[in-house]
A and B are shown apart, each in its own frame.
Chain A
Amino acid sequence: MRDWRSLALGSLSVATGLIVWYLIGALGLVSTELLAGPADVWAALVDILRNGYRDTTLAQNILATLGRCFAGFFAAAVLGVPLGLWMGRSRMADASLNFVIQFLRPLPPLSYLVLLILWFGAGDLSKIVLLFMGAFPTIATAAMAGVRQVSVQRVQAARSLGATSRQEFVYVVFPAALSMIFTGMRIALAGAFSSVVAAELMAASDGLGWMVFSASRFLRTDIILLGIILLGLFGMALSRALVAIDARLIHWRGRE
């Protein structure tokens, strides 16, 4: 009952927003050069689907953005999770590596983008390295914190039942750390999605961020708005999907 009501109210408020947006253009409150109306954005979508945008198709741009995002994120997860687990288990690994990661972590990724472009050129490599460097410290730190917060009683219980060090890690420590690892991955992926668009604004020849920035040079607010709406919808889908995967994989969250 409550869900039905909030769905209705939500739709109502989105519909009101759309009507206000339409009226602003229709009544001439703001010139359509500055704010394209909903119909213009729809027309832009149809046009881009049919003819593409400056020699790129919409699918190509979407795939370019998502591909970069996932490439950087996966590289960070593949390296960050084992390294974080190791730092959580071994004091020596923590002492020798953690300070480097903690130095990188608070740096806004865009601050070193200039250097990466200088080192790796303006192609995909510099962008993927950027996303990797943004996501890696977050994931590694989460994995380390996950190992650290495993309850001592559980580990001792496993040991007193005769578990080997390896069994203790596989059956006790890793599952217990999994929920924090997943939280870290969610934060990292959201950050990567934000950074990829910024990187595409700086230097790219395809991708949704590039499309928005290139359209802004020609004051095509219809294409800009289309890009913003698509990016917003992809962002929402991404965060919904992660919440769903999280609930599936770590079904014991909140019931520990």
Chain B
Amino acid sequence: MRPWLATALTACALIALWLWLTLSGVVSDLFLPPPGELWDALVDLVQNGYKSRSLWEHVADSLIRVIVGFGAGAAVGTLLGLAMGYFRTIDALAAPFVEFLRPLPQLAYLVLLIIWLGIGETSKITLLFLAALPVSAVAARDGVRNVSEARIRVAQSLGASEWQIFVHVVFPSALAEIFTGARLAVGIVYGTLIASEIIAGTSGIGWMILDAGRFLRSDYVFVGILIIGFMGIALDRLLLAVETRLVHWAGR
């Protein structure tokens, strides 16, 4: 048997199971919509939107939050991480806070941000900023630490100044790890976004899923999950494409 045949067979078996469960009435369509209903829900959402906003507005709202929060967090985190990797003193001063923040579940401080900043965009974007920052900082710091001693010595012996070494040797060498950190951060920010929209939101794909769940519209929930899944994959692929473009020497 060929591998692709095995893939096709399992996929068919799963779809058959789905059809049987839903069409025979074993599982109520409140819990699991049959394929036809799922398709209708998608068409309905594309044509009419959800709760007075079009589907694209929900997607755009979520994307803007991710991009602004991640962009700001990754930029500040990377700068901090580069400084931490380069200067031991800055590392020692900042490390306790970064290491406290990194494993801290993001939702734990969401309630505090809501009390301070309200339930609007500011608290959500601050949350995503704080989620991206420590991951990017640690990646950039480790990237700088892992630059080979020999490369720096070579540059020094060729008469490079401290600044030239940083710009032309240390930073490019650390770039691969910075990008790995950025992809990790996007994943975390993306997961946090859904949570932030669920807890306090009136728009966005995450909010749509929760709101549809309240009304037992599991067809809308499924469509929302699929959209979130594909958006996540697209974001990751995009970063990967930028990475292979910018850091074309990675792995060589």
Contact = CB atoms under 8 A, between A and B. Distances in A.
Contacts of A106: 187, 229, 232-233, 236
- Among B96, B210, B216, which residue has the most Cβ atoms of chain A within 10 A? B96
A95 interface: yes
A232 B101 contact: yes
B158 interface: no
Nearest to A104: B229
A223 B43 CA distance: 46
A198 B192 CA distance: 9
Given A111-B206, A112-B225, A115-B218, A219 B115 contact: yes
Interface centre among B9, B108, B198, B218, by most chain A C-beta atoms within 10 angstroms, is B108
Interface stretch (A46-54, A124-132, A150-158, A235-243): A235-243
A44 interface: no
Interface in A218-246: 219, 221, 224-225, 227-228, 231-233, 235-236, 238-239
Contact of A107 (B95, B212, B232, B236): B232
A109 B191 contact: yes
A19 interface: no
B25 interface: no
Interface string B99-116: 111111111111110111
Contacts of B29: none
Nearest to A216: B111
User: Interface on chain A toward B: helix, strand, loop, or mixed SS?
Assistant: helix
A190 B233 CA distance: 21
Given A107-B228, A114-B210, A232 B100 contact: yes
Interface of A: 2, 5-10, 12-14, 17, 34-35, 91-92, 94-97, 99-100, 103, 106-115, 117-119, 190-191, 193-198, 201-202, 208-209, 212-213, 215-216, 219, 221, 224-225, 227-228, 231-233, 235-236, 238-239
The 3 closest A-B pairs by CB, nearest first: A235-B103, A114-B213, A9-B92
8 contacts: A96-B6, A96-B7, A107-B229, A108-B194, A108-B228, A193-B105, A195-B191, A228-B104
Given A103-B229, A106-B233, A118-B216, 9 more contacts: A100-B10, A107-B232, A108-B194, A108-B228, A201-B110, A224-B111, A228-B108, A232-B101, A235-B103
